[in-house]
Copies of this chain bind each other. A is one copy, B any other.
Amino acid sequence: MAHSPELSVGRIPIVGVQPSLEEGRWPVRAVVGESVPVTATIFREGHDSEGATVVVTRPDGRRERLPMPIDNWGLSLYRANWTPRQEGLHTFRVEAWSDPVGTWLHAAEVKIHAGVDVQLMLDEGVAILTRALKEVRRAPAKQALLEQAIASLLNGRLDPESRLAHASSAELHEVLTAAPLRDSVSASREYPVLVQRELALASSWYEFFPRSEGARQNRRTGEWTSGTFTTAAKRLPAIAAMGFDVVYLTPIHPIGTTHRKGRNNSLKTEPGDPGSPYAIGAAEGGHDAIHPDLGTMRTFKTFVKRANEEGLEVALDIALQCSPDHPWVTEHPEWFTTRLDGTIAYAENPPKKYQDIYPLNFDNDPEGIYHAVRDMIQVWIDAGVTLFRVDNPHTKPLDFWERFLADVASSHPEVIFLAEAFTRPAMMHTLAKVGFHQSYTYFTWRQSAEEMGEYLEEVSGPSSFYMRPNFWPTTHDILTPDLQRGGAAVFKMRAALAATGAPSFGIYTGYEFVENVPRPGAEEQIDNEKYEYKPRDWDKADQHGIVTLLTALNDARRRHPALRRLRGLTVHHTTNPQFLCFSRHLTAEESPTGRPDTIIVIASFDPYHVQSGVVSLDMEALSLADDARIVVDDLIGTDTYTWGRDFYVRLDPADSLVHVAAVRP
């Protein structure tokens, strides 16, 4: 084994630096204003003192230095919280160093107290503090404190403990922590952190099918007229009024007619069936074109402008698959798989067939497909789209996404991609690592309080440094058993969990009406909007109080930074297995407001019975004393409660299955 200096353990060892993904293979992610805990295992030989610093290099090359105090002596763990203030690729390194002042001070305090080597300790102190004064730059007021400590050490009229007093004062300690005298500085490697805008982490999405908004059926002929961008834009004020950040449109492209699916996923279409917007491409164009029923690029841009005026950003759906009528099928048959019999392979999961869809084959002409997709996305970015929901990214090669997402980010770092991959964990995690900003999750399928608690702990744990969950109670594809049964009470409870359990959540339109009838044998809605027009009577939207609830939840998220962060979650013990209690807590240091922020959520998973039980808060996790009393306001109700560590809760489905309680400062 040759001695390799760049991998050396270093004079003062630094191991296990976090956060890091395979030692910098990919950058970890953060957003502006999000507190990032940097930790490392640091120790040294013998009894001398060491110290540590985090050095952050910003995108412009400027450096920021943070004191890194010890966090757990037994584990030799040091920690600093760093809060990025600008977007872009940062790097950080950890520096560990010999601390001659600390070494001397520890010995001096013990020995002078014991009357051992007194003069020697005082003399050494003068020498070391003089070095600290001369070798490190500080403001004059700080240097004066050092000079004062030196003068005291030299002052023969005082007794030895008094001569030492200034040197061991808290004030001097603070000065030396901010600007320490550092010997034998050792450095870790540089670790990358990609800082993005806050919306990449914290966002609330509202999904709808633009063709449904303003769609009209002729009562006489039964014929439908599609909604358009212009009619759909009329929904925007209401969506904005509920406090959403993002309006997400299912695909807006021309829809194929070959093997078009009918209502309820039927293989037979009836005349006038609009087809699934996921069967993309027809004579009118492909992924860069607009369905003529919806409007034109001009009216689409007007829609985007209207949304922006309402404070909403627009998300489009990217489904990289083609109907048999897509222009690419004839222009680039090499982008698909041609079977031995000369036909193009449609999508299959043998023995199931999806003959309305041709998957792309990324291996035949990777460069050709890459540039076509890159050009296509630019069309929509140029039209003002700033977010994309990517359909089934796990059916396309990951090296394609890695290249594509890096490429888009280099010129459009503001653009956000949400991965819709419901699959095994390794794929979901790696999609996040290679560049997706957000991810759909298993939230929807976590049906019991215990499962949900474990899942909340999981997504807010170590994966929080790269994978940002986006919680959806339903989608146009998913209606889980609990929502098929429990009525409005469960719809409300799961909306509240989604809005508070993760910093990003989304609602699929119609949720307001408690649309909970499944297609028999399927976990999706009957009369699925994918295959038909579905206009809704928005005048009755708040009949279940869900508009009011969503408005309150989005308002709470806006006012409480704890709800816009992924880390800081704790699940608390309850005596009732139907209950889930969790908190989101930011310390003053971690909070962008500089004030601590704490939300406590308590939900009952039983929509049929009144449930009660005792909740026991992990007070330490909330930075509270064990005997503290807290006053909380329910942000989705009107009640105020006073709680201690243990308190009784009763949740009646006739009233509400959930409290979202903000702790008063």
Q: Hey, what's the 0/1 contact readout for A9-47 against B, CB within 8 Å counting as 1?
A: 111010110000011011100000000000001011111
Residues of B within 8 Å of A27, CB to CB, are 1
Q: Do A396 and B45 have beta carbons less than 8 Å apart?
A: yes
**Bound Cα distance A7, B26 (Å):** 8
Contacts A75-B425, A410-B2 hold; do A47 and B340 have CB atoms under 8 A apart? Answer: no
Stretch at the interface among A109-117, A214-222, A371-379: A109-117
Q: Is A519 an interface residue (CB 8 A)?
A: no
Residues of B within 8 Å of A394, CB to CB, are 45-46
Q: Is A406 an interface residue (CB 8 A)?
A: yes
Q: Do B22 and A25 have beta carbons less than 8 Å apart?
A: no
Q: Do A25 and B23 have beta carbons less than 8 Å apart?
A: yes
**Bound Cα distance A127, B45 (Å):** 65
Q: Do B15 and A47 have beta carbons less than 8 Å apart?
A: no
**Bound Cα distance A110, B434 (Å):** 34
Residues of B within 8 Å of A403, CB to CB, are 3, 8
Residue of B nearest to A114 (CB): B351
Residues of B within 8 Å of A41, CB to CB, are 426
Q: Is A634 an interface residue (CB 8 A)?
A: no
Q: Is A520 an interface residue (CB 8 A)?
A: no
Q: Do B89 and A11 have beta carbons less than 8 Å apart?
A: no
Partner of A340, one of B120, B184, B409: B120
The A508-531 residues at the B interface (CB cut-off 8 A) are none
The A245-294 residues at the B interface (CB cut-off 8 A) are none
Q: Do B340 and A123 have beta carbons less than 8 Å apart?
A: yes
**Bound Cα distance A279, B427 (Å):** 60
Least Cβ distance of A237 to chain B in Å?
37
Q: Is A76 an interface residue (CB 8 A)?
A: yes
Residues of B within 8 Å of A44, CB to CB, are 397-398
Partner of A339, one of B11, B73, B124, B396: B124
Q: Is A542 an interface residue (CB 8 A)?
A: no
Residue of B nearest to A351 (CB): B114
Residues of B within 8 Å of A26, CB to CB, are 7
Q: Is A399 an interface residue (CB 8 A)?
A: yes
The number of chain A residues with a CB under 8 A from chain B is: 69
Q: Is A169 an interface residue (CB 8 A)?
A: no
Contacts A2-B410, A430-B15 hold; do A424 and B25 have CB atoms under 8 A apart? Answer: no
**Bound Cα distance A110, B349 (Å):** 10
Q: Hey, what's the 0/1 contact readout for A46-58 against B, CB within 8 Å counting as 1?
A: 1100000000000
Q: Is A383 an interface residue (CB 8 A)?
A: no
Residues of B within 8 Å of A426, CB to CB, are 13, 15, 41, 43, 75-76
Residues of B within 8 Å of A399, CB to CB, are 8-11, 13
Residue of B nearest to A11 (CB): B399
Q: Is A156 an interface residue (CB 8 A)?
A: no
Q: Is A560 an interface residue (CB 8 A)?
A: no
The residue in A1, A110, A194 that gathers the most chain B C-beta atoms within 10 A of its C-beta is: A1
Q: Hey, what's the 0/1 contact readout for A376-403 against B, CB within 8 Å counting as 1?
A: 0000000000000000001111110011
Least Cβ distance of A436 to chain B in Å?
12
**Bound Cα distance A2, B350 (Å):** 39
The residue in A43, A89, A114, A398 that gathers the most chain B C-beta atoms within 10 A of its C-beta is: A398
Residue of B nearest to A410 (CB): B1
Besides A15-B426, A76-B426, 19 more A-B contacts (Cβ < 8 Å) are A1-B27, A1-B406, A1-B410, A2-B406, A8-B402, A9-B430, A10-B398, A11-B399, A13-B430, A15-B433, A44-B397, A44-B398, A45-B398, A45-B427, A74-B424, A75-B424, A75-B425, A75-B426, A76-B427
User: What are 29 of the A-B contact pairs (CB < 8 Å)?
Assistant: A1-B194, A1-B410, A2-B406, A7-B26, A8-B403, A10-B398, A10-B399, A11-B399, A13-B398, A15-B22, A15-B430, A16-B22, A43-B427, A44-B398, A45-B394, A45-B396, A45-B397, A45-B427, A75-B426, A76-B425, A76-B427, A106-B350, A111-B351, A114-B350, A114-B351, A116-B353, A120-B341, A123-B340, A127-B340
